[in-house]
Structure 1
């Protein structure tokens, strides 16, 4: 990979880590937060839901804003807001205030979800864009491997509030990186003056494109399956299986291993077989593996090692589905890449938030609700891929 791609992927990957770190690092603290604030499990899970709702909806504003003002000013705003909300979370005294502050965190974090994808589309398409996206995800993959472990190390001596203090410091470092190292990729002559009618027209164009909608929903159900895991994993692993916070962090990192490894092959597979084919076959693998996992668990085989292995296999297919579908969804919408990335991110995050709500409502402390939710997402993604991508060939041709 050329040096410019490596540098850009590192910068975008580190910036994109801000949102995942705010999720992964505090996952081991969820039981402690519930106990410390005297809140039920469901209310603690709503701190995740409020974050993802804001994270999703606000991308609809960051996308058009980045098309109008350039990529960097909205990114600065989001990082500053995220940092201030993180400080607020560190001193929250009630579960209600923590839910509200997590919402504000999500408003800020939305900027580092949609804008990096638009930055990629500003310069690259086809296989090079997929390669850059997968390299960015390689950097992001460090978060689920290390962030929960760092969180658990902090929680034991300093309590759950220390996690948000560290997140605040990391946000400050990210802001410095954005100011000093990220170039502005949208030239002034290519910026689109804000007009409500133009934004409405862009959204209408995107919603009328069945391939864009289909690819967005395929990736969205993949993300929703992971969010179901996020909402229940700490309670399931520490409650049902009796793991300590540190052991949970290590198990969580192991679950991310399949996604981490397979995502690095997405670009090469796309160049060889076509990206549409990769999405079709990887979605089928995701659906089949998740349905098998669900059937095994509902049959009474709930052993921890078996569950972890089946989750790793499922994540192998997600590592191919998510980055490839993200890149393909933007392929035909270069002039409105910021808006397309924002709308796609919003839809995907809202699907994830819905998954958290539904999984939280049915969660009973056992693996069945989690595996059932993941299998439902896998089946939905498979149906959508077969309905929207059959007969599609032009997006499968690699481009430079």
Structure 2
């Protein structure tokens, strides 16, 4: 299989999960009206998805190492497809929340296994190149998925979005069956050893640098989750945008994130990865604080909010990938476990922040921006402490 074909297949599979998040964002106000639900309850459909998505990653990684890559993909996609049908048929907000949690349990396989396939196929620069190509495919989803969802709403109600997602899941099953080879040979498979998993977990939990970097990225990711859970209500309610208008505004913010993320590597080479993290977190906190002050004073117009969020998300595009790289760097022997554990912590952190935001959210921009600012300052405090520890360790190593 050529690298381009592999990137397209793995990218399309990996994009199913983000589409399940972003495609129904324009429909969230319609879901609230249709099911007679509070805004905070509709936001819980995102929280349920993210928490289940994060926790399930801990299961799929070891299982894929034991039985190969394709069986977990089949099972996860089947769960995702069934849950998507349940979402389309949900008669109450409670049923929709439960179905979204089940959808997250299935969709998590599409985060874990494609990365493992890349490691099976390539190492070193070739693996980096393939991962970059896959990420390029995935990065299109935050821009296209809301627009696709808005387009579907024009032809039907919000349930049509989930019927289309179900069809996409079935197509992904066919793609996995016919176009994706098994990349982990039998002789390379390893049995799940709970003792080794617990030993590695204890190493990670006791590492202040790993935990610090993980939660710096986690609070950064949480701010983005707060944004996606609230933005459709703010943009359509307070600012009067149509679902299509919201989708375009959302795409602009996504461009800020993914555009800046492409500069993270070159900047790290030029000025050092620790410097990138430090100034990106400071920029994120500064942009969030200024935007909150402006919104609180009554000048938070749509262009001002969009510009402030664009700048903040651009800083996030430098924070999240660099902290992920640095967190895994000292733990090469247990990189898979570290990746799964870190992903779980970040997803759960984001889900909890959405719940906290829901307690104060009133459909306007101020509480949304305030929650984003809270995430930013949590990340800033952690960054100052963690980078100080990293500097001290580095200095001791040089002196030693």
Indicate whether the TM-score tops 0.5.
yes
- Residues 283-308 of structure 1: CA distance to partner in whole angstroms, max 9, x if unpaired? 22222222222222122211000100
| Aligned-partner Cα distance in 2 for 1:328–1:23 | 27
Contact 1:237–1:243 (CA<8 Å) still a contact in 2? yes
- Name the counterpart of 2:344: 346
| Aligned-partner Cα distance in 2 for 1:300–1:147 | 32
| Aligned-partner Cα distance in 1 for 2:275–2:181 | 34
Q: 1:172 to 1:161 in 2, by over 3 A?
A: same
Q: 1:126 to 1:323 in 2, by over 3 A?
A: farther
| Aligned-partner Cα distance in 2 for 1:359–1:134 | 33
Structure 1 counterpart SS, 2:363: coil
Alignment of 1:315-334 (within 5 A): 315-334=313-332
TM-score (normalised: structure 1)? 0.90
- Name the counterpart of 1:106: 104
| Aligned-partner Cα distance in 2 for 1:52–1:73 | 23
| Aligned-partner Cα distance in 2 for 1:364–1:372 | 12
Contact 2:74–2:176 (CA<8 Å) still a contact in 1? yes
The one of 312, 328, 335 equivalent to 1:337 is: 335
- Which runs of 5 or more residues in structure 1 are unaligned? 396-400
Contact 2:280–2:315 (CA<8 Å) still a contact in 1? yes
Contact 2:263–2:318 (CA<8 Å) still a contact in 1? yes
| Aligned-partner Cα distance in 2 for 1:220–1:138 | 22
| Aligned-partner Cα distance in 2 for 1:74–1:336 | 20
Structure 2 counterpart SS, 1:236: helix
Q: 1:349 to 1:189 in 2, by over 3 A?
A: same
Contact 1:207–1:213 (CA<8 Å) still a contact in 2? yes
Q: Calculate the aligned-residue CA RMSD, in Å.
A: 2.4
Single out whichever of 11-20 and 78-87 deviates more from structure 2. Answer: 11-20
Structure 1 counterpart SS, 2:191: coil
Matched, 1:174 2:193: no
- Name the counterpart of 2:379: 381
Q: 1:259 to 1:126 in 2, by over 3 A?
A: farther
| Aligned-partner Cα distance in 1 for 2:179–2:327 | 27
| Aligned-partner Cα distance in 2 for 1:314–1:176 | 39
Structure 2 counterpart SS, 1:173: helix
* 1:163 CA displacement: 0.2
| Aligned-partner Cα distance in 2 for 1:92–1:174 | 23
Matched, 1:278 2:289: no
Structure 2 counterpart SS, 1:389: helix
Q: Of the two structures, which has the highest relative contact order with CA contacts closer than 8 Å and spacing of 6 or more? A: 1
- Residues 67-124 of structure 1: CA distance to partner in whole angstroms, max 9, x if unpaired? 3223332222211111111111111122111111111001001112233344455567
Matched, 1:245 2:243: yes
Single out whichever of 93-102 and 183-192 deviates more from structure 2. Answer: 183-192
| Aligned-partner Cα distance in 1 for 2:105–2:288 | 32
Q: 1:352 to 1:248 in 2, by over 3 A?
A: same
Single out whichever of 386-395 and 13-22 deviates more from structure 2. Answer: 386-395
Q: 1:308 to 1:119 in 2, by over 3 A?
A: same
- Which runs of 5 or more residues in structure 2 are unaligned? 395-400
- Name the counterpart of 1:398: none
TM-score (normalised: structure 2)? 0.90
| Aligned-partner Cα distance in 1 for 2:130–2:353 | 29
The one of 352, 359, 363 equivalent to 1:365 is: 363
- Name the counterpart of 1:70: 68
| Number of residue pairs matched by the alignment | 392
Contact 1:50–1:102 (CA<8 Å) still a contact in 2? yes
- Name the counterpart of 1:61: 59
Q: 1:277 to 1:154 in 2, by over 3 A?
A: same
Matched, 1:23 2:21: yes
